[in-house]
């Protein structure tokens, strides 16, 4: 699989791509990562990639021309061809990292741009936005989809792009030492399981040894199930009858107080005092 990153800060990726699973995947040729400097496709002496937004407003936006030319250069298209439907390759995704995009997830779902779906592709081009965003014409006529990693604000799309590359790479056959690892990820079933070393020592010597009676290889699944259940209880502890009753009482009192506030704000519709006969 090939990843192409379009960014104005190519040096950003020097660290994250040189460690762990990503480094091994690149060394073995499982993935290829190409970082493209967007400023190489500018025409002026100052290598300007941003402009003021049309209609005014705060900040700057990335200009569309350098982005279009960068993608066309990567795809081997002539000028103007990248935006044509005929130029779209079903095995290639042009992804704009944007806060307005679909939420990135792990498993298959219609409302998610998923890591497993991306892992079936041959090439992913990731456009990393900066400033206040990217010219809207990039999303309308160039990108095949927009992608967001969450409801929060970052300085640019470089960090989200690294997260996408990492999540997709580990799903590729041969990326992990144990192929079963990608099938038993945190979001494949229960919340991420509780983990303990098989041979604890030192300060961890008091950790209970779960599921070891039948041998380590047979007891591991049983112990893992116990730890998963206990972790689920810890994240969502069961409530005692007294705490449930206290919560009901508190909700009732709060409801009564809100009703009283509403009644006090209603206009007084009582008839005026005095003789109505004039």
Element (H, E) at 246: helix 241-265
Summarised one tens digit per residue, pLDDT across range 81-134 is: 665 554 568 899 999 999 888 889 887 555 556 888 999 999 999 999 887 788
- Residue 276 has what pLDDT? 46
Q: Say yes or no to pLDDT of 56 above 80.
A: no
Nearby residues of 169 by Cβ (< 8 Å), 6 or more positions away:
1, 21, 22, 25, 30, 31, 175
**pLDDT over 70 for what percent of the chain?**
65
- For the chain, domain boundaries: 2-179, 190-194+210-257
Q: Say yes or no to pLDDT of 9 above 70.
A: yes
d(CA 23, CA 2): 14
- Residue 216 has what pLDDT? 47
- Residue 81 has what pLDDT? 61
Decide: 167 and 21 in contact? Cβ < 8 Å. no
Summarised one tens digit per residue, pLDDT across range 183-233 is: 555 555 444 555 556 555 555 555 555 554 444 444 445 555 555 555 555
- Residue 203 has what pLDDT? 59
Q: Say yes or no to pLDDT of 2 above 60.
A: yes
Element (H, E) at 99: strand 92-105
- Residue 110 has what pLDDT? 52
Q: What value does the mean pLDDT take over residues 133-146? A: 91
- Residue 199 has what pLDDT? 59
Domain 2-179 fold: Alpha/beta knot (3.40.1280)
Strand partners, 134: 62
Q: Say yes or no to pLDDT of 73 above 60.
A: yes
Mean of the per-residue pLDDT values of the chain: 77
Q: What value does the mean pLDDT take over residues 29-58? A: 86
Tally of CB atoms within 10 A around 163? 15
Strand partners, 105: 114
Report the range out of 19-33, 66-80, 102-116, 197-211 with the highest average pLDDT.
19-33
- Determine which of 6-10, 28-32, 252-256 has the lowest per-residue pLDDT on average: 252-256
DSSP secondary structure string for all residues of 29-74 = TS-EEEEEEGGGG--STT---EEPPTT--SS-EE-HHHHHHHHHHH
d(CA 232, CA 77): 52
Distances (CA, A) of 278 to 184, 186, 270, 271, 275: 86, 81, 18, 15, 6
Q: What value does the mean pLDDT take over residues 25-43? A: 92
- Residue 278 has what pLDDT? 45
Find, among 107, 112, 143, 106, the residue nearest to 128 by Cα: 143
Classify 271 in phi/psi space as left (phi over 0), alpha (psi -120 to 50) or beta: beta
Decide: 75 and 82 in contact? Cβ < 8 Å. yes
Q: Say yes or no to pLDDT of 35 above 90.
A: yes
């Amino acid at each position: 699989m090939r990843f192409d990153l379009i960014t104005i800060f190519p040096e950003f990726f020097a660290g994250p791509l040189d460690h762990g699973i990503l480094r091994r995947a690149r060394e073995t040729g499982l993935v290829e990562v190409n970082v493209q400097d967007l400023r190489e496709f500018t025409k002026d002496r100052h290598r300007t990639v941003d402009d003021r937004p049309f209609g005014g407003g705060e900040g700057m936006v990335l200009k569309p021309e350098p982005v279009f030319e960068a993608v066309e250069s990567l795809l081997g298209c002539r000028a103007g061809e990248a935006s044509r439907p005929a130029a779209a390759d079903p095995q290639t995704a042009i992804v704009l990292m944007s806060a307005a995009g679909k939420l990135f997830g792990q498993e298959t779902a219609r409302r998610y741009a998923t890591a497993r779906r991306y892992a079936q592709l041959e090439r992913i081009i990731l456009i990393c936005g900066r400033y206040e965003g990217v010219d809207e014409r990039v999303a309308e006529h160039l990108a095949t989809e927009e992608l967001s990693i969450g409801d929060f604000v970052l300085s640019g799309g470089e960090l989200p792009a690294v997260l996408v590359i990492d999540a997709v790479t580990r799903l590729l056959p041969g990326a992990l030492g144990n192929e079963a690892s990608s099938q038993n990820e945190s979001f494949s079933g229960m919340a991420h399981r509780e983990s303990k070393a098989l041979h604890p020592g030192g300060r961890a010597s008091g950790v209970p040894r779960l599921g070891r009676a039948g041998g380590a290889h047979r007891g591991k699944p049983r112990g893992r199930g116990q730890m998963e259940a206990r972790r689920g209880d810890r994240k969502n502890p069961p409530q005692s009858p007294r705490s449930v009753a206290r919560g009901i009482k508190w909700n009732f009192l709060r409801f009564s107080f809100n009703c009283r506030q509403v009644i006090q704000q209603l206009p007084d519709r009582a008839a005026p005092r005095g003789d109505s006969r004039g």
